[in-house]
């Protein structure tokens, strides 16, 4: 099959989206191009050499076979229902279907106002574009499901926020941009109109349709709810073990395909803080690191409520079925979390007896304010017997409490069942050396705002192999100095 654009979502009709006209910018310039993603997609040409692609990625002129639309959705923002949101600063060019039949939304973020802009300018400053590019690509390299970044283009036009900033547009690639909030719009704002059509569409696009026959209730909505339950549980478990704080887990930022989306106020923790929360607008800590598993459970419950009328005609049966599925979430989260935590700490599995050991490690990280990423990496180098040959001793000093704890840890490790090299290989794959640390992202953004993109390119490049040491890692892997610490992040809308 020849790769190319298709428009199945636009085909659902005018209730779901609105045609989007181009809103040209004056002086588009390519900032970043993701050649390896382009190759994986089977995208031919690059905006470097194909001026029409640069024009298209700047939103100036559509590419052939694209059908730009803005989609409508709703969502709970910080727990408050907003009956209509939608792509206020994003344009969906269409779905790119690869040679093997995989389908991805190609979306321009920051390409101008749409029918859903609610008075906003539809634009994005360069800072949030760079942040999303860097962090989403790093997340991909860390094996976390995520939307991807294909390109970043400077518009040559200013964007007015607290200050005047250079504008930019991100080309985002996602399995789809369909959200809990998309279902909410049809179920709640429109009182059930078209929600069945939407659910059938999502199930056909994102779920294993063989499950339709297996599910006792047989309903597409139940299949959807169950697969979203599994995806959310797995995704949030992965965030937790990496110390990733999303920062704005509104239902419109929870994708049904289970990819991480919206890198606005996100941050990885540096030193371990069990209450880590970075977003300047999250004053109550609703989306703090420890609350993420519970919040995604809540988002799942919102989805369940929207799907009730489709799950069964009988209200009681519908509620019971939905509740059973939503109740699977804690155990699924726990299973993924324990599995990955065991891998990170170099144990074959976490047994009930191990909880004091694991808690003891976290307690030391918290009281000694140790760097979360480097502390787990220290365990990895010790377990692999590679500490002395690695740059880690220059990056991480081990307090006595941790050395003492490690005696018990080594004793427990000697009781591991199974192949030792498999266990240490798993440690290597779960404990990154490099994460996109706030201070590095911020410094790269500062450079980009000053017209120097090289530092961003270097950060993106380094993020592509997070589990391997490279020369220069004393800079990329080190924890920030106290004066460099970024403790607050901003949405950047």
Catalytic amino acids? Answer: 252
d(CA 99, CA 333): 34
Closest alpha carbon to 226 in 253, 247, 199, 252: 199
C-beta closer to ligand AMP: residue 262 or 282: 262
95 DSSP β-pair partners: 6, 105
d(CA 289, CA 277): 6
CB 392 within 8 A of CB 378: yes
C-beta closer to ligand AMP: residue 84 or 442: 84
C-beta closer to ligand AMP: residue 25 or 365: 25
d(CA 464, CA 128): 20
CB of 207 to ligand AMP, least distance (A): 25
DSSP state of 123: -
CB of 262 to Mg ion, least distance (A): 4
Q: Which of 40, 63, 212, 491 binds ligand AMP (CB under 6 A)?
A: 491
Closest alpha carbon to 184 in 69, 72, 295, 317: 72
Q: Which of 85, 188, 255, 441 binds ligand AMP (CB under 6 A)?
A: 85
The yes or no reply on residue 70 touching ligand AMP (CB under 6 A) is no
CB of 68 to Mg ion, least distance (A): 19
**Which one of ligand AMP, Mg ion, none is in contact with 270 (Cβ closer than 5 to 8 A by kind)?**
none
DSSP β-ladder status, 4-6 and 75-77: unpaired
489 DSSP β-pair partners: 279
Q: Which of 23, 52, 121, 449 binds ligand AMP (CB under 6 A)?
A: 121
The yes or no reply on residue 253 touching ligand AMP (CB under 6 A) is yes
C-beta closer to Mg ion: residue 253 or 431: 253
Evaluated on CA atoms 487, 144, 336, 468, the torsion sign reads negative
279 DSSP β-pair partners: 489
d(CA 46, CA 43): 8
Q: Does residue 454 sit in helix, strand or coil?
A: helix
The yes or no reply on residue 462 touching ligand AMP (CB under 6 A) is no
Closest alpha carbon to 97 in 36, 21, 176: 176
**Which one of ligand AMP, Mg ion, none is in contact with 89 (Cβ closer than 5 to 8 A by kind)?**
ligand AMP
d(CA 4, CA 106): 11
C-beta closer to Mg ion: residue 28 or 265: 265
Stretch near ligand AMP under the rule CB under 6 A, chosen from 114-122, 191-199, 201-209, 327-335: 114-122
CB of 109 to ligand AMP, least distance (A): 9
C-beta closer to ligand AMP: residue 467 or 490: 490
Evaluated on CA atoms 439, 444, 450, 452, the torsion sign reads positive
Report the interface residues with Mg ion, using CB under 5 A: 253, 262
The yes or no reply on residue 262 touching ligand AMP (CB under 6 A) is yes
CB of 81 to ligand AMP, least distance (A): 14
**Which one of ligand AMP, Mg ion, none is in contact with 246 (Cβ closer than 5 to 8 A by kind)?**
none
Residues that bind ligand AMP (CB under 6 A): 85-89, 117, 120-123, 252-253, 262, 264, 491, 493
């Amino acid at each position: 099959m020849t790769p190319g654009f298709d428009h199945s979502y636009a085909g659902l009709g005018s209730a779901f989206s609105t045609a989007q006209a181009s809103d040209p910018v004056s002086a588009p310039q390519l900032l970043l191009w993701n050649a390896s993603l382009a190759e994986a997609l089977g995208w031919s040409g690059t905006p470097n050499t194909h001026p029409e692609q640069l024009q298209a990625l700047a939103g100036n002129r559509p590419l052939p076979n694209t059908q730009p639309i803005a989609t409508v959705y709703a969502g709970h923002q910080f727990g408050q229902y907003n009956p209509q949101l939608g792509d206020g600063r994003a344009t969906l060019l269409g779905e790119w279907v690869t040679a093997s039949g995989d389908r991805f939304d190609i979306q321009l973020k920051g390409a101008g106002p749409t029918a859903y802009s609610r008075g906003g300018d539809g634009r994005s400053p360069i800072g949030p574009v760079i942040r999303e590019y860097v962090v989403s690509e790093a997340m991909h390299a860390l094996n976390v499901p995520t939307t991807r970044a294909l390109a970043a283009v400077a518009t040559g036009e200013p964007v007015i926020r607290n200050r005047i900033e250079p504008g930019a547009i991100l080309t985002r690639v996602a399995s789809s941009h369909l959200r809990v909030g998309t279902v909410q719009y049809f179920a709640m704002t429109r009182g059930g109109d078209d929600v069945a059509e939407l659910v059938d569409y999502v199930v056909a696009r994102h779920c294993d349709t063989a499950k339709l026959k297996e599910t006792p209730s047989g309903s597409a909505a139940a299949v959807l709810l169950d697969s979203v339950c599994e995806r959310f549980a797995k995704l949030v478990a992965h965030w937790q073990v990496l110390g990733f704080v999303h920062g704005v887990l509104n239902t419109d930022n929870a994708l049904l395909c289970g990819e991480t989306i919206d890198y606005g106020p996100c941050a990885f923790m540096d030193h371990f803080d069990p209450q880590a929360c970075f977003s300047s607008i999250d004053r109550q800590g609703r989306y703090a690191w420890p609350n993420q598993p519970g919040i995604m459970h809540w988002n799942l419950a919102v989805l369940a409520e929207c799907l009730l009328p489709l799950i069964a005609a009988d209200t009681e049966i519908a509620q019971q079925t939905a509740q059973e599925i939503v109740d699977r979430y804690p155990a699924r989260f726990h299973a993924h979390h324990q599995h990955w935590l065991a891998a990170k700490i170099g144990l074959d599995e976490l047994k009930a007896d191990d909880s004091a050991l694991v808690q003891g490690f976290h307690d030391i990280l918290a009281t000694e304010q140790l760097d979360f990423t480097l502390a787990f990496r220290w365990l990895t180098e010790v377990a692999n017997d590679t500490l002395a040959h690695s740059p880690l001793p220059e990056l991480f000093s081990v307090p006595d409490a941790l050395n003492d704890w490690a005696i018990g840890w080594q004793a427990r490790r000697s009781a591991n069942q199974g192949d030792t090299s498999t266990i240490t290989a798993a440690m290597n794959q779960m404990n990154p050396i490099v994460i996109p640390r706030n201070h590095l992202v911020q410094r790269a953004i500062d450079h980009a705002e000053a017209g120097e993109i090289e530092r961003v390119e270097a950060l993106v490049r380094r993020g592509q192999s997070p589990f391997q040491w490279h020369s220069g890692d004393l800079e990329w892997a080190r924890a920030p100095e106290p004066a460099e610490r970024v403790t607050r992040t901003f949405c950047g809308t």
